[in-house]
Structure formats: C-alpha cells, structure tokens
C-alpha cells in the first residue's frame, strides 16, 4: 500500500522531469521540474492554483492517478493543446507527449487570464465524455479495476461485501482477447440476460505486458474462472463440465428448458474469482488431512483459514448475539436438528445422543483455529466434529479413478512453461483440460493411446505456467480442488486495497459499514 502512496506520484514525476523548458516558459525555474513532489506543487501552480483540492487528492492512493491525469490535461491546454487526441495523449502517455510539446516550442498561456477557444455546449460535453470513457477504459484495462467479493470462499480474510481495488500492473496487464466490446460491462449487456457485450471477432491471442513481480505463494489472486469457458445460460452453477459429468453432454445441450443455451466465452469474458495461490508452476501439490504439502513438505496454513465443524451444544440453542461474538454470519451457520435425516448424519459423525435418544442442538459452521478455541471454551459446547472431506462431493478430475477428496487431494504435478510431461492413460484426465482447452490442442484417448493433434503422443511440453488456487474458507470454496489448474492467461491481477466494506447482515444504521476495513491494504488482511 505504501508503495502506491509513494511510488505512483514518483512515477508521474518522470514525465514532469522532461518539462524543464515548459516550466521556464510558464515563469518558473526549470530545475523545479526534477524535484520529486515539489514539481507537483509547481505543476498545480502552472495549470490552476485555484484547485486547492488537488493537494488532498494527490495523497489518496489510486485517486492520485486520476488527479495526475487531470493535471496533465490542464497542462496540455495551458500550452495550446485542445484536440481530443492531444488531451488523451497528455493523460495516458505524458512521458511521450510533453517532450514532444517541448521540442515543438509551444508557448504558455496562463489559464487564469487566457480564454480558451469557444466550444458549443454539445462539443464541450462530447469532448468530456470521450475523454472520460477513453481514460477510464485504459485505466480499467491496464491499471486498476474494482471487484466485489460476492461469496464467502475467502472469509475470514476477504469478506462478502468487500469492494476491492485490483492492480493489473504487478503481474503485467493483459491485452484484451476481445477488444471490441460495450464499455464498462463484462460479458452480458446490462439490459439483457443473454446478449453478449462483446464482438467475437477479432479475438487477439494471449499477450501480457511486462509486470513488476511474479506470483508468489499465498498471494491473493483475481482470475477468470477456468471452467467458465462454456456456460449453460440458465444454470451457470455448477459449471458446465460438472453438469456434463452428472447429466451427460447430450442432455445438457438438448434440454434448453432446464439448461438454456450453451455459450462459449473467451478468457477475458469469464467470471472473475478471487482465491489464494497455494501451488506454483513445477511443484508437486498435495493435501493430507487438510494440510497442504509442496514437494512432500507441509506448509503453514493461513492464519484465518476456516474448516467446517459440527458443534453439539450442552443442551441450549445458541443465540444470535453469541454467534455475532464468535464472528459467524447468518449465512454461515445452520441448525440441523429439524432435518429428518439429522439422526443418521449425527450417527455417521459419531455425535452422541442423549439417554432418551434425542440430540442436543447441533450446528454446522466454519471456524478458524482461533474461533474453534473460543467456541470450545465458551461453555455452550459439548462436542465438536470436523466435517469429513468426503462431504465435499467429487473433486478434480472426477474420473472415478483418482479417489481424492477436498481434505485429501493429490499428489498432483503443476505444469510449468517449457517443461515436458510424459502423458499416458493413467494421467490423461489430470491434464486433458490444460492441453485441450487452455492450450488449444486436439486431444483424444484411443484404446489407451494418447493422440495430440491426431498424432500418437507420449509426452507434451506446456506453453504456459499454471497455478493451484484455494479459498481460505476451505470447505465452502469452489477452487482448484474442483476444476484443477489456473493457467497464467486467466490471471487478472492482485487485490491491493479494500476501498469500502459493507456487511449484508446489518442495516444501514446498524453497523453495515465496516469502518475498520475502509481503505485497508489487502496485505494487512490476508495473512
């Protein structure tokens, strides 16, 4: 976070440093342009010293980006540059634009005493709208974008109702696969549930611009949903491949009343997920009894990682106030005794009945290690049982051979760009989606022989890096345990800031605003 407070303004001092002559033409010392931060003050004096609020906006992370762009626009106008393309270049590529203005010998006109060329109201509004749209699209595509946490898969690290600022510059921004699209919407037009917001042609190949860092273990990552390449419009959840697994491909494609149209989406138009990176390219990934092992060695679990538990009380129901003290939301807790199948479930879990055959109240809830200790020490609880991994249903690769669960998974080698894998009938299902769907090959298994692009193959060299992503709320997370690897071309960026946070369980005047999370760096929340 501190980096964005300090480095962003510093970054914008680079184009200002090329403005030595422009500063002199405006009546200031040329060397002022190369003094970090002071040059921003001088710049504000040159363009319009009546906008005192600029000084405040320059110290607000991310807002300072927009502020600098506006200042550069005003600087361009002060040197007679009013055309739309000039305004856009001043804001987006100032390090190119202003040296050119300097070379061309443009003269300074004090904005406080100079009348700019008159424009019609329509032209003035059009210029403003065009600039706003272009600048916002460039920022959204290559710099920052806002995402909302819709589900509890990352609790207690990232909460439902967190509004995240996601930086695309760290890992390098992607060039859009579908550049022709309706602005500021994702895959569907706002007035329709099915109409695509983008034009499928042209579709550009995957290209990522240089970034400043690599993905590291435990980084929270925002990425496009890998299994979201194909979607049943009326039943987007579970994903298409799970639907095919349970219902059969023919049933999913033919039964439009139940499943709707089957839609293909390019990478950049798939749903956005946020999870924690737990496995890196080239590593051997495994989960044993909910503990992650990398290359055979256990790694520390996140401090706020949650597992599901069945909690039997001493005899009384637990009130809302107690649940709130424990930090368990309304959606995360479930009273089980009213379920007709509850006795069978309790018996399978080893939850003991009373002498008369009845059961004390039993709840189902996710708990961190600290929360678990608090629950056990509360005096309300008689027995606690961790949820078995088998209750999570089938997991990747759903082939009937690899009998893995979400609590005991792997071992599984994570593909790395340039590395070659020996592939055969035994590991075919583990890597078929990566080879076929993500890397664009024709892949078949015929009589126990693997064919890649119609040629028999015993090995395959991967074109991209891949990652394993898991949610911190482990037993309530759709993640790599269910759909496998996340390819590098699906990575959007890193969440860096919680802008605001709203508690959906609270009223507007009853604690809805989580003030302690406003403007919080994500790094301070995801441990």
pLDDT category of residue 58 using cuts at 50, 70 and 90: low
Rounded to 10 degrees, what is the CA torsion of 266, 267, 272, 278? 150
pLDDT band at 294 (very low <50, low <70, confident <90, very high): very high
Q: What is the mean pLDDT of the chain?
A: 87
The residues, ordered by sequence, that sit 6+ positions from 343 with a Cβ below 8 Å of its Cβ are 353, 359
pLDDT class for 33, splitting at 50, 70, 90? confident
Classified as helix, coil or strand, 197 is coil
Greater confidence, 1 or 295?
295
Give per-residue pLDDT as tens, 445-467: 999 999 999 999 999 999 999 99
Structure tokens at 20: 């030595």
Is 60 exceeded by the pLDDT of residue 178? yes
Q: How confident is the model at residue 127 (pLDDT cuts 50, 70, 90)?
A: low
Cα separation, 65 vs 224, in Å, equals 26
Can you tell me the mean pLDDT for 352-366? 93
398-420 pLDDT per residue, tens = 998 999 999 999 999 999 999 99
How far out from the chain centre does Cα 131 lie?
Answer: 27
CA distance 61 to 66: 10
The reported pLDDT for the residue numbered 104 is 80
Across 128-140, average pLDDT? 70
Q: Model confidence over 213-223: pLDDT tens digits? A: 999 999 999 99
pLDDT value of residue 66:
66
> How far, in Å, CA of 198 to CA of 207, rounded?
19
Residues 6+ apart with CB under 8 A from 187: 196, 197, 198, 265, 269, 270
Is pLDDT of 183 > 50? yes
Sheet containing 455-456: which strands, arranged edge to edge? 443-446, 449-452, 455-456
Per-residue confidence (pLDDT) for residue 122, from 0 to 100:
65
pLDDT at 7: 45
Rounded average pLDDT over 181-209: 86
With 70 as the cut, is the pLDDT of residue 303 above it? yes
Of residues 331 and 167, which shows the higher confidence score? 167
Q: What is the mean pLDDT of residues 45-56?
A: 68
Whether 269 contacts 178, CB under 8 Å: yes
Confidence check: pLDDT of 53 > 70: no
The pLDDT value recorded for residue 405 is 97
Q: Can you give the pLDDT at residue 1? A: 39
Q: For 108, which DSSP code? A: P
Structure confidence by residue, pLDDT tens digits, 80-102: 887 877 877 887 777 788 888 88
| Statement: residue 5 has pLDDT above 50 | no
Whole-number Å distance between alpha carbons of 237 and 325: 32
Q: How much of the chain, in percent, has pLDDT values that exceed 70?
A: 88
7 phi, psi to nearest 5 deg? -75, -35
Lowest mean pLDDT across 136-145, 201-210, 264-273, 297-306: 136-145
- Reply yes or no on whether the pLDDT at 273 is more than 90: yes
**pLDDT at site 2:** 40
């Amino acid at each position: 976070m501190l980096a964005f407070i300090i480095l962003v303004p510093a970054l914008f001092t680079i184009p200002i440093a090329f403005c030595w002559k422009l500063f002199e033409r405006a009546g200031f010392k040329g060397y002022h342009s190369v003094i970090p931060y002071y040059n921003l003050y001088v710049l504000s004096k040159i363009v319009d010293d009546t906008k005192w609020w600029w000084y405040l906006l320059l110290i607000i992370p991310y807002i300072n980006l927009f502020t600098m762009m506006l200042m550069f626009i005003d600087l361009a106008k002060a040197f007679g540059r009013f055309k739309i393309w000039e305004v856009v270049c001043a804001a987006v590529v100032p390090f190119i634009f202003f040296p050119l203005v300097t070379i061309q010998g443009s003269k300074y006109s004090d904005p406080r005493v100079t009348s700019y060329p008159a424009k019609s109201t329509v032209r003035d509004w059009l210029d403003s709208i065009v600039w706003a749209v272009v600048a916002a699209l460039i920022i959204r595509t290559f710099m920052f974008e806002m995402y909302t946490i819709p589900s509890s898969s990352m609790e207690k690290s990232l909460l439902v109702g967190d509004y995240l600022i996601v930086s695309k510059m760290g890992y390098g921004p992607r060039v859009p696969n579908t550049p022709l699209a309706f602005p500021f919407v994702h895959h569907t037009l706002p007035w329709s549930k099915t109409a695509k917001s983008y034009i499928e042609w042209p579709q550009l190949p995957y290209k990522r611009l240089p970034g400043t860092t690599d993905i590291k273990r435990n980084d929270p990552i925002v990425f496009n949903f890998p299994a979201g390449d194909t979607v049943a419009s009326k039943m987007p959840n579970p994903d298409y491949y799970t639907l095919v697994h349970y219902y059969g491909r023919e049933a999913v494609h033919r039964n439009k009343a139940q499943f709707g149209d089957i839609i293909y989406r390019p990478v950049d138009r798939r749903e956005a997920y946020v999870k924690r990176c737990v496995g890196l390219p080239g590593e051997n990934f495994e989960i044993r009894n909910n503990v992650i092992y990398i290359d055979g060695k256990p790694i520390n679990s996140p401090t706020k990682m949650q597992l599901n538990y069945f909690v039997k009380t001493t005899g009384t129901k637990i009130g809302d106030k107690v649940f709130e003290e424990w930090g368990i939301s309304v959606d995360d807790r479930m009273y089980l005794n009213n379920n007709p199948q509850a006795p069978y479930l309790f018996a399978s879990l080893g939850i003991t009945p009373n002498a008369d055959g009845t059961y004390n109240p039993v709840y189902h809830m996710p708990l961190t290690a600290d929360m678990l200790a608090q629950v056990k020490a509360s005096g309300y609880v008689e027995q606690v049982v961790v949820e078995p991994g088998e209750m999570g249903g089938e997991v990747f690769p759903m082939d009937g051979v690899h009998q893995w669960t979400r609590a005991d998974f792997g071992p599984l080698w994570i593909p790395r760009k340039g590395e070659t894998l020996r592939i055969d009938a035994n590991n075919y299902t583990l890597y078929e989606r990566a080879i076929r769907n993500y890397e664009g090959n024709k892949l078949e298994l015929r009589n126990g022989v693997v064919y890649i692009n119609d040629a028999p193959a015993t090995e395959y060299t991967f074109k991209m890096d891949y990652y394993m992503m898991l949610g911190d709320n482990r037993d309530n997370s759709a993640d790599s345990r269910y759909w496998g690897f996340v390819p590098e071309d699906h990575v959007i960026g890193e969440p860096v800031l919680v802008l605001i946070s709203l508690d959906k369980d609270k009223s507007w005047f009853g604690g809805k605003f989580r003030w302690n999370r406003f403007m919080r760096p994500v790094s301070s929340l995801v441990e």
